[in-house]
């Protein structure tokens, strides 16, 4: 269906891969984090979609990683408050942050929708592309919601660590949350390109059919010229 349509389809595919990376963050893959907190004892906390990992944990792990179970919703504010250099959170902000973590169950849903949008717009022809763009729109809206909530959750934790640890602990946003942001952009452009290339292709085809008869004499004239 043309080069631009291919670009749109590729962007939907890229978005699903990016969302997959966010989904398999710690504790599934220890090193992928939405927020990383470097503790003053040398360990690092990696907060992910379905839990967290302590990299280089002490006893009884002897420098190995320790990870929580895979679980919908966990308590990053609580975990930070329990580390040595930290203070308790304000109950409302800490509680809000912890309560909102269960919305991260949206990450695999967005990933699945982006992948379905990719498959449909790649293989299902014109109406498929319209339907694919529609599914991509749903994925995009959910990703927007996730982005807002995730930056709220981990923004609160990031802020707390920066404020109360007097530089002994350091928080940085991780690859998991940047992949989510990149997926948001890829979904936006993928959705629009797939939508418009589908409809532009249809308009061109219709114009082609309508002008066939008018074109006829021009073609014969051209042929006659070709003989000379
Ligand atoms: C550092 O502190 C964290 C949280 O209190 C703990 O889980 C980790 O094992 C500690 N690491 C070391 C090397 O003591």
Instruction: Look up the CATH number of the domain holding residue 209.
Output: 1.20.140.150
pLDDT in tens, 1-11: 588 899 999 99
CA distance 103 to 91: 20
pLDDT grade for 144, boundaries at 50, 70 and 90: very high
In the three-class reduction of DSSP (H, G, I as helix; E, B as strand; rest coil), residue 55 is classed as strand
Index of the ligand 1 atom closest to the CA of residue 84: 5
What average pLDDT does the chain have? 85
CA angle (33, 38, 41) in 5-degree steps: 135
* Mean pLDDT computed over 120-138: 89
Cβ neighbours of 146 (radius 10 Å):
25
CA distance 43 to 83: 11
Which of 57, 59, 63, 170 most suits a substitution to test ligand 1, by most atoms within 8 Å of the C-beta?
57
Range of the domain at 116: 2-227
44 lines ligand 1 (CB under 6 A): no
CA distance 45 to 156: 15
* Mean pLDDT computed over 68-95: 84
* Mean pLDDT computed over 119-134: 88
User: Above 90 in pLDDT, residue 210?
Assistant: no
148 lines ligand 1 (CB under 6 A): no
Could you identify the residue written with the tokens 């360990």? 43
Contact 67, 57 (CB under 8 A): no
User: Above 80 in pLDDT, residue 226?
Assistant: no
CA distance 82 to 75: 11
Least confident of 18-32, 55-69, 99-113, 171-185: 55-69
Contact 177, 144 (CB under 8 A): no
Please tell me the residue having the least CA distance from ligand 1 atom 5.
83
pLDDT grade for 208, boundaries at 50, 70 and 90: low
What are the two backbone dihedrals, phi and then psi, of residue 151, each rounded to the nearest 5 degrees? -70, -25
Tokens of 197: 């290339």
pLDDT in tens, 21-41: 999 999 999 999 999 999 888
> At a CB cut-off of 8 Å and minimum separation 6, what does 139 contact?
15, 110, 113, 114, 117, 187
67 lines ligand 1 (CB under 6 A): no
pLDDT at 29: 96
CA–centroid distance, 30 to ligand 1, in Å, is 16
Please tell me the residue having the least CA distance from ligand 1 atom 7.
57
Index of the ligand 1 atom closest to the CA of residue 42: 13
pLDDT at 161: 87
* Mean pLDDT computed over 67-81: 92
Which of 26, 39, 61, 63 most suits a substitution to test ligand 1, by most atoms within 8 Å of the C-beta?
39
43 lines ligand 1 (CB under 6 A): yes
Number of domains in the chain: 1
């Amino acid at each position: 269906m043309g080069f631009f349509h291919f670009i749109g389809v590729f962007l939907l595919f890229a978005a699903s891969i990016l969302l997959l990376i966010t989904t398999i963050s710690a504790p599934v893959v220890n090193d992928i984090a939405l927020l990383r907190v470097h503790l003053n004892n040398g360990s690092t906390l990696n907060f992910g979609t379905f839990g967290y990992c302590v990299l280089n944990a002490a006893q009884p792990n002897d420098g190995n990683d320790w990870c929580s179970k895979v679980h919908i919703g966990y308590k990053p504010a609580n975990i930070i408050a329990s580390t040595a250099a930290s203070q308790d959170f304000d109950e409302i902000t800490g509680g809000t942050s912890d309560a909102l973590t269960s919305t991260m169950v949206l990450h695999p849903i967005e990933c699945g929708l982006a992948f379905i949008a990719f498959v449909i717009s790649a293989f299902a022809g014109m109406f498929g592309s319209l339907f694919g763009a529609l599914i991509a729109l749903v994925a995009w809206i959910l990703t927007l919601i996730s982005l807002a909530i995730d930056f709220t959750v981990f923004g609160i934790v990031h802020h707390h660590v920066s404020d109360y640890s007097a530089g002994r602990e350091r928080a940085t946003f991780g690859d998991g949350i940047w992949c989510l942001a990149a997926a948001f952009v890829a979904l936006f452009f993928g959705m629009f390109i797939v939508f418009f290339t589908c409809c532009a292709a249809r308009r061109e085809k219709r114009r082609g059919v309508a002008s066939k008869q008018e074109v006829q004499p021009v073609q014969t004239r051209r042929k006659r010229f070709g003989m000379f």
